[in-house]
Structure 1
Amino acid sequence: MRILCAPTTFEFDHNSADLNVALYAQAPSPDFGCIGEPVSRTIRRRKLSPPPRGWDFLSIALSCFAADLAGHRARSADGWTREFDLCVTVNDVAFWNSVKDELESTLQFLTTDIWTFEFIEGGYHPSPPSGALKQKGDCVALLSGGLDSFVGAIDLSADGYSPVTISHISRGDHDKQESFPKLIGTGLQSALFGHGGKVPDGESPASQRSRSIVFIGYAVLVATCLETWSTQTGTNCFVSENGFISLNPPLTDMRVGSLSTRTTHPTYFRKLQSIFDQAGFNLKIENRYALKTKGEMLIECQDQALLRKLAHTSTSCGRFLHYNYKHCGRCIPCLVRRAAFLRWGHNDQTTYIFDNLGINDDAHSRFDDVRAAAIASLAEEEVGTERWAGATLASAGIADPSDHIGMLHRGLIEIRSLLAAYGVL
């Protein structure tokens, strides 16, 4: 599928692409897609002036997400892997062509699709606003409304950082993305972004595998406007995710590929970091919890009173929208969450649609994710963590996997305790 993404000042040739996408603007006609218009308004309102390559990276990320929305997996040759030929206008054509292969590899790893990029002149770079400001703060931290990013922001504040939290607005989480920063420490600065993406004839439900690169694209815009960005040491983009979900090991041999997301995977971050370094973003992507289980994150959180008060209001479920903004209680993220609460030792006040995992039916104990978690737990006990997780750690390119093996073992102990508590094991 060939997709051309450019600002509306670009002269689109309607015969050159399967889909034209207007960047940072509304669609000029019904046959166009569009994405990014709310972002330009947010940056303008905050009186920030990101550098050209910062806008370029976000343009590429938004273009990938527009493709993600438009591509139909069922129409692909194997029913899953899509092929995208993406043409994007940028400010620095020579630079982005120099990292083209790395970008294609990064997106392929993230989404399991095949990507080809072409970069052309005409990138988006608005004139600096009158009285342009520098953003106060010394780092950026992604804040999704989930439990891990909430703990991460709490700990950053406690450790003396002054993060600007970056949120990708989503239904069901908007209130948390606004309220959580205000309640941490003496109050954190926050920046909320919406992509406004729409495409004609999009897939339903839409794939959102590339969503995380847009999230990081917002962080790049804000980070490159920080007062501290131009210093020799640069700044950090903190992405907080427990190590078990970050590695997201396939729980059984049948759960490779489509069931294993990679939004915070160390290989993905390593690939992005290489591109950032070459772009001169002076920004380090860091997950401080790569060797922690979710239960350990809760136990070690530096504001236990705030966590006990609000942990249950955070979001973890992979089907949160599907169940009308409630947790299903049986998907892998929900199982890891419930196991973490059990390990933490505090009452989990979260409402779960499928609460009693011990009910012996297809909706509870025999549900696919619950069965997979049980099989993984038993297999790891039988063959040992290193053998069970061998392929996962090898594919992550981790030179010394011993610490990760220990973290995976402890994560499976948490899950095993949850399943045992409900009589599933």
Structure 2
Amino acid sequence: MKQHLIECGVSAASCEEAIAMNVHGPGKNVNLRIDYISRTMLSNLPDVLIDLLEVAAYVYCADQRLVRGSEQLSKFGENWRRSLRFSIPVRELEVWHDPEVQYALIDTLGFLSDDSYAFDFRQTETPVQPKELYFQDLIDPANEHDRVALFSGGVDSFAGAVTDLVAKGQSLTLVGHYSSTKVRSVQEGLIADLKRKGFDRHLSYVPVWVSNEGVQAREFTQRTRSFLFACLGFVVAEMSGKDGFSFYENGVVSINLPLAGDVVGGRATRTTHPKVLRGFEDLFSLLVERRIQIRTPLQWLTKKEVTEKIAAAGMADLLSQTVSCTRPRKWTESQKHCGVCSQCIDRRFGILAAGLGEHEASDRYMLDLLLDDRSGRDDLRMALAYVSLFKKISATPKERFLVDFPEIVSAIGHFPGVPTSEAGDLLFALFQRHAKSVEEVILSAVREHSAALFRNDLPAASLLAACYNRGHIEIAPPSNYDADAKAFMDRLSTSVLEFAFDDDKKRVHFRGDLALEGANFKLIAALIAAFRTAKSRQTEVPYLPAPDLARCLGVSDQSMRQQLRRLREVLEPLNVSMGIPMDQDSFIQTKERAGYRINPQCREILIADIVGGVLSASTD
């Protein structure tokens, strides 16, 4: 793993192994600028959120400067992950030294980008740079809108915006991040089109420019872009007096299963993964000491269904003005989609599946999805991997979904208000619908181009020709399919969660080689006495009120809830290892206004009955 030291707020690095980054002053090499904010909104911005903006800008820009492994899929390996240590000056040092804040920051960024993070915060030197430094185009007055939402200019963000504007009759403040003027022009063009359609008074746009200055970006995966984007949305929402903001992205992309076996970890993006968004919520809530919510109204929709919402809102004529490609350097005036990256492939499948191909000519892509030659580099492999993945999903029965696609498990339990068992069913149905739409696009194209396929007139390395030759994408079923399916179903029948409490070593053990200790142990220890007493007396297990539980742990209510969330996350592997459908109440039950208790359906057993090695899950 490559190790990097990033020294922030300085004009020069202290050693050859470090890089220097600065958002202001003589050594400035990071741009951070937010336009079209009112003076009233700016007055509502506390110093800790200026700190957050700077932290996010440093993380994002360092991500671009510090290269990973080769861009060839087959060569990703140990050099993919990086160890990043940041030294950052902040105004509110006590807040950033809070262990809960540091945990939320490090844990969420680590899962998001598949890197290792460490932060050394220090008190910023006086005189402190004024917050007006980042807000150069102040406006007055400003419209007060119903919601704040993130706006990239792609299909999903446009669909979410027009749905809220048209179908729901809401007014929006759209926050757009750009590091290229080409991206900003796309966003501004769509905003202008919407205003011309009569939404001028219901819409405002806040463009945010964050980029490296005078330094060439070397890494283009940009896994931390969503952290920066979310921080920008949160800051604007906070200045607007809102309790959160909206992130428009469909559920298939949000989970984003890896397309191929060597696309692992951060190589398969987790930019809007439910676990990442809950981590953002926790961090933001800790910073302002009240609950912040990130809304994802498109979570249970496929790309096809999201695209259909644009037509339903009467905006199909603007579909071709949206841009999904992440390679703006390749864009031309007439072609802003490379047709090769996963975003372009996913977009085109969605548009064709929605029957809206007539609203976007295929020549707006540098490479046609189905008909053009993809023999260069990994162009064909990426497209075939996409089709192969959803072909496999289509053939997967519900009882094997978690077994064959274990990456799904990390998302289960992170959908607010949705029980884990229900979330699993919803995700299975979601991916099945998307797989069906991919199949329909391929079959429709085969019918349309049957004569050319029969005569071999299409390039052999075109996606349609490769799919027509089934040998390219046939996936053999596992030889032990029946045995695995039976074993999985047998495990599902084991509905009782068993645990053993070790007072001496201060651990709680579970079947499935998992143990809790540290802060997790302390939380369970605060609840175990009431559980045991009720069991021995055969009475109802009482709930411990939230303030009382927080008092027992010696932490705030907010910290106690964060700890409970982390405990539930630690238990997530039992979904697969034990085949026990885990929701948030499987072990620790929550009841509004009553408090918390160990689920009465759980069974405490002797430590000697837990056989095998145990994985430690400490939070200290």
Query: What TM-score range do you get, normalising by the shorter chain?
Result: 0.7 to 0.9
| Counterpart residue number, 2:42 | 48
| Counterpart residue number, 2:174 | 165
| Counterpart residue number, 1:401 | 424
| Counterpart residue number, 1:249 | 257
| Counterpart residue number, 2:238 | 224
**Residue 421 to residue 332, structure 1, CA distance change in 2 (3 Å):** farther
1:252-280 CA deviation, whole Å, 9 max, x = no partner? 33332353111111111011111111112
SS in 2 for 1:48: helix
| Counterpart residue number, 1:240 | 248
| Pairwise CA distance, 1:303 | 5.1
Greater mean deviation of Cα atoms: 359-368 or 165-174 = 359-368
CA contact (8 A) 1:373 1:415 kept: no
CA contact (8 A) 1:354 1:363 kept: no
Letter in 2 for 1:315: V
User: Higher helix proportion, which one?
Assistant: 2
Provide the rounded CA distance (Å) in 1 between the counterparts of 2:369 and 2:280: 40
| Counterpart residue number, 2:218 | 204
**Residue 377 to residue 215, structure 1, CA distance change in 2 (3 Å):** closer
SS in 1 for 2:339: coil
SS in 1 for 2:22: strand
| Counterpart residue number, 2:130 | 126
Query: Is the aligned partner of 1:349 residue 2:355?
Result: no
CA RMSD of aligned residues (A): 3.2
| Counterpart residue number, 2:392 | 379
Alignment of 1:254-333 (within 5 A): 254-280=262-288, 283-301=292-310, 304-306=313-315, 308-324=316-332, 326-333=336-343
| Pairwise CA distance, 1:7 | 7.4
CA contact (8 A) 1:69 1:203 kept: yes
Provide the rounded CA distance (Å) in 2 between the counterparts of 1:147 and 1:45: 32
| Counterpart residue number, 2:94 | 94
Provide the rounded CA distance (Å) in 2 between the counterparts of 1:144 and 1:378: 29
Q: TM-score, normalized by length of structure 2?
A: 0.60
Provide the rounded CA distance (Å) in 2 between the counterparts of 1:106 and 1:52: 22
Provide the rounded CA distance (Å) in 1 between the counterparts of 2:296 and 2:185: 24
SS in 2 for 1:191: strand
1:97-131 CA deviation, whole Å, 9 max, x = no partner? 22112211111111111110111111866267999
SS in 1 for 2:84: strand
| Pairwise CA distance, 1:286 | 1.2
Provide the rounded CA distance (Å) in 2 between the counterparts of 1:279 and 1:199: 32
| Counterpart residue number, 1:420 | 443
Q: TM-score, normalized by length of structure 1?
A: 0.85
Gaps of 5+ in 1: none
| Pairwise CA distance, 1:174 | 1.8
| Counterpart residue number, 1:2 | 5
| Pairwise CA distance, 1:248 | 0.7
Alignment of 1:55-94 (within 5 A): 55-74=50-69, 78-94=78-94
**Residue 162 to residue 415, structure 1, CA distance change in 2 (3 Å):** same
Q: How many residues align?
A: 408
CA contact (8 A) 1:51 1:224 kept: no
1:363-416 CA deviation, whole Å, 9 max, x = no partner? 599701211022223322333366356312102233231111111111111122
Gaps of 5+ in 2: 71-75, 414-419, 447-463, 468-620
1:188-239 CA deviation, whole Å, 9 max, x = no partner? 1111111142364x5525442212222222222221211xx1xxxx433111
Q: Percent identity?
A: 24
Higher relative contact order, structure no. (Cα contacts within 8 Å, ≥ 6 residues apart): 1
Query: Is the aligned partner of 1:338 residue 2:340?
Result: no
CA contact (8 A) 2:55 2:88 kept: yes
Provide the rounded CA distance (Å) in 2 between the counterparts of 1:131 and 1:358: 49
| Pairwise CA distance, 1:68 | 0.8
**Residue 135 to residue 5, structure 1, CA distance change in 2 (3 Å):** farther
Provide the rounded CA distance (Å) in 1 between the counterparts of 2:227 and 2:94: 22
| Pairwise CA distance, 1:301 | 4.0
SS in 2 for 1:73: coil
CA contact (8 A) 2:258 2:264 kept: yes
**Residue 413 to residue 297, structure 1, CA distance change in 2 (3 Å):** same
**Residue 122 to residue 386, structure 1, CA distance change in 2 (3 Å):** farther
Greater mean deviation of Cα atoms: 336-345 or 186-195 = 336-345
1:115-167 CA deviation, whole Å, 9 max, x = no partner? 10111111866267999977622321111111110111111223132221001
Larger radius of gyration: 2
Greater mean deviation of Cα atoms: 180-189 or 68-77 = 68-77
| Counterpart residue number, 1:109 | 111
| Pairwise CA distance, 1:358 | 4.1
**Residue 153 to residue 133, structure 1, CA distance change in 2 (3 Å):** same
Provide the rounded CA distance (Å) in 1 between the counterparts of 2:176 and 2:219: 22
Provide the rounded CA distance (Å) in 1 between the counterparts of 2:86 and 2:108: 14
